[in-house]
């Protein structure tokens, strides 16, 4: 089988290749991610323009960004624990997510000491959008987790006689007798002992 030669293209995009003849060495710069170069590293605009770069990266040392992420994670897990029937953990995680989400939206970064500096996520500049989304999503899921936990505790309080009867029943027949303490609606059908 004959060796297939690749055509020599002037747009070879190898960042480790030597510069073309006649050009001096240039210091390495990260790519901007937007096309438009001719392969020699020349873009169609200045290299250091901010309009070609995306938002700033996540900084784990910034307490505002950290709390926004914590709010999202704790809210999600609190919601899952609420759905799967562990309301105490769901309530705890929901309360933590609520605290972290509010403090992320209102707090000041640790690096600013100026009292007139913008507070909350406005102080992050271009990195504020994903962090605001994370903080607000954390607040929403935290609210849902707290509502699920409160609903679970409310049902347990409203039908306390049923739960006490079911927990004290020694036989399956006695446990089935506890179904008479439930209402004749959808909630009663869901809670029935089978």
State if pTM tops 0.85. Answer: no
Whether the pLDDT of residue 7 is over 80: the answer is: no
What's the whole-number mean pLDDT along residues 16-26?
78
Spatial distance between the Cα atoms of 19 and 119, rounded to a whole number of angstroms: 47
The DSSP code for 124 is: G
Residue 106 has a pLDDT of: 86
Q: How confident is the model at residue 5 (pLDDT cuts 50, 70, 90)?
A: low
Q: Cα 57–144–165 angle (5° rounding)?
A: 145
User: Whats the size of the chain, residue-wise?
Assistant: 194
Residue 43 pLDDT:
47
pLDDT of residue 112 exceeding 70: no
65 pLDDT band, cuts 50/70/90, is confident
| Greater pLDDT, 107 or 80 | 80
Note whether 97 and 67 are within 8 A (CB).
no
Give the pLDDT confidence of 146-157 residue by residue, as tens digits. Answer: 999 999 999 989
Query: What is the structure's pLDDT at 141?
Result: 96
What separation in angstroms does the CA of 56 have from each of 11, 48, 65, 120, 124? 29, 14, 12, 16, 9
Q: Which of 132-146, 154-168, 172-186: highest mean pLDDT? A: 132-146
Place 44 in a pLDDT band, splitting at 50, 70 and 90: very low
Residue 90 has pLDDT above 90, yes or no: yes
């Amino acid at each position: 089988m004959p060796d297939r030669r690749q055509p020599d293209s002037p747009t070879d995009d190898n960042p480790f290749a030597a510069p073309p003849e006649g050009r001096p060495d240039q210091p390495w710069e990260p790519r901007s991610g937007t096309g438009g170069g001719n392969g020699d590293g020349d873009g169609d605009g200045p290299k250091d323009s901010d309009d070609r770069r995306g938002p700033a990266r996540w900084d784990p040392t910034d307490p505002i960004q950290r709390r926004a992420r914590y709010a999202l994670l704790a809210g999600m897990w609190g919601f899952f624990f609420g759905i799967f029937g562990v309301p105490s953990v769901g309530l705890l995680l929901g309360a933590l997510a609520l605290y972290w989400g509010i403090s992320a939206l209102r707090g000041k970064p640790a690096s600013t000491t100026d009292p007139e500096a913008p507070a909350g996520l406005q102080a992050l500049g271009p990195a504020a959008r994903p962090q605001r989304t994370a903080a607000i999503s954390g607040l929403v899921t935290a609210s849902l987790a707290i509502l699920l936990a409160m609903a679970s505790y409310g049902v347990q309080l409203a039908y306390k006689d049923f739960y006490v009867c079911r927990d004290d029943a020694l036989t399956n027949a006695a446990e089935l007798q506890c179904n008479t303490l439930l209402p004749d609606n959808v909630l009663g059908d869901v809670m029935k002992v089978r």
